[in-house]
Amino acid sequence: MRKPLVAGNWKMNKLVGESLALVNALKPLVKDVEGVDIVVCPVFTALHAVADALKGSNIQLGAQNCFTRESGAYTGEVSPQMLKDAGCTWTIIGHSERRQYFNESDEFLNEKLRFALASGLKVMFCIGETLEERESGRMNDVLVRQITNGLMGLSEADFDNTSIAYEPVWAIGTGVTATPEQAEEAHAFVRGLVRDQFGEAVADKVRIQYGGSVKPDNVASLMAKPNVDGSLVGGASLKADGFAELVRKSL
């Protein structure tokens, strides 16, 4: 049985004070939840303060991105070592917004993924197709490419610290959610790809999260599907009560 992983991606929202208010409101609402791994991913500027606020709680801290070097002349970038120093145990890599707005390729994301894992961070690695790719019948081809190129070189042990987040781009921030059946179809396909490339043991243990307009009122139907192992939540993670409800409905 794979333990559900529910992560809140705050994107470019919340100043430090607002971030602290959110996690301080969230902590008591989920303090008795034991069957779900809970992660929040604030902006870089709030990480250290939020890490302090989360000490002793059952909520883990993640970042939204990282670079491929420990240090050096890379203006504007943040290394996995810096994220760990700030208190992170997780990072998101490959979010569709990074792919779309910053032109991050599968090969570059694979480099990021492998360096983050080697540096001791856990990674939520994002994949997913656009609406045009789905409607033109290329969804499977896109997922094959993103899995094959994005996860290249990983060992079986690496998957202890890697989750895959399937996020159909057409459902992110649009209010449109893949039906539970659509999500299950994609997740089962992805797990099959992992099985083909990395073996049965890896396919059985890797967690595949769903992302894309996940809300308290649809998460239970998504989680009821056998290949949906959690969620990567955007807007619904920005309010403590709603995110706490979503976590509880993920059990």
Can you give the three-state secondary structure of the chain, one letter per residue? Answer: CCCCEEEEECCCCCCHHHHHHHHHHHHHHHCCCCCCEEEEECCHHHHHHHHHHHCCCCEEEEECCCCCCCCCCCCCCCCHHHHHHHCCCEEEECCHHHHHHCCCCHHHHHHHHHHHHHCCCEEEEEECCCHHHHHCCCHHHHHHHHHHHHCCCCCCHHHHHEEEEECCHHHCCCCCCCCHHHHHHHHHHHHHHHHHHHCHHHHHHCEEEEECCCCCCCHHHHHCCCCCCEEEECHHHCCHHHHHHHHHCCC
By annotation, the residues acting in catalysis are: 95, 167
